[in-house]
Amino acid sequence: MRSFDRATSRLPRRWRIAIDWLATIAAAIVVVLALEAEVAKPYRIPSESMEPTLLCARPGAGCEASMSDRVIACELCYRLGSPHRGQIVVFRAPAAAVSICGAGGTYVKRLIGMPGNTIHEDDRSFIWIDGRKLSEPYISASARTEDTRYRGQTWHVPQGEYFFMGDNRGNSCDSRAWGSVPRSSLIGPVVATYWPPTRLTLRLFDLS
């Protein structure tokens, strides 16, 4: 660093300022790229399955917003800790999702069932985990009313796998259709909504 300072000290002041700015910007870019590669990555919400918690953009079917929410998933979090029920998680969808939902790739949904859990959806679309009713304040009354397809069904989550559902229950193609997801397919929990600015939300408490 000292040799760098000595080398630039002979330059005109405006050149030194420009070089300082370029060095700062280059360092910032390196940090951002390192974070994106190892810690966190941005994702766009493509569908209505998480409405109104996460919004997708019109003219998509069922979308409420003019711009899709963009979120950050913490990839490092699942290297250091374990998934928790209630987290919104980015994951790689099982192969069956392509034929059943019409799209594969990366999904964003809420973690409902943990390894070994037995999940039941009753005749009013409330979810029960191992015989206990799950509190879900994030589900709207209308979403529960529209959710009729899976009423009365029960699923068992194998060891090492996780069960996901969308908050927009009547309009979500999720684990109820294509099954549970292995731990290796989980990318990370959503820790923030960063775009559009009016939707800025931090979900750090979801990690505890």
Residues taking part in catalysis: 49, 109
- How many helices and strands (H and E) does the chain possess? 6, 12
Distance CA 157, CA 42 (A): 29
Distance CA 149, CA 184 (A): 29
Return the beta strands (E) in 40-122 as ranges.
40-44, 70-74, 88-92, 106-113, 118-121
**3-class SS at 199?**
helix
Are the C-beta atoms of 182 and 161 separated by less than 8 Å?
yes
The helix (H) or strand (E) run that includes residue 194 is strand 186-195
Report DSSP letters for 145-175, one per residue: HH--TTTT-EEEPPTTEEEEE-SSGGG---H
Distance CA 200, CA 70 (A): 9
Are the C-beta atoms of 157 and 163 separated by less than 8 Å?
yes
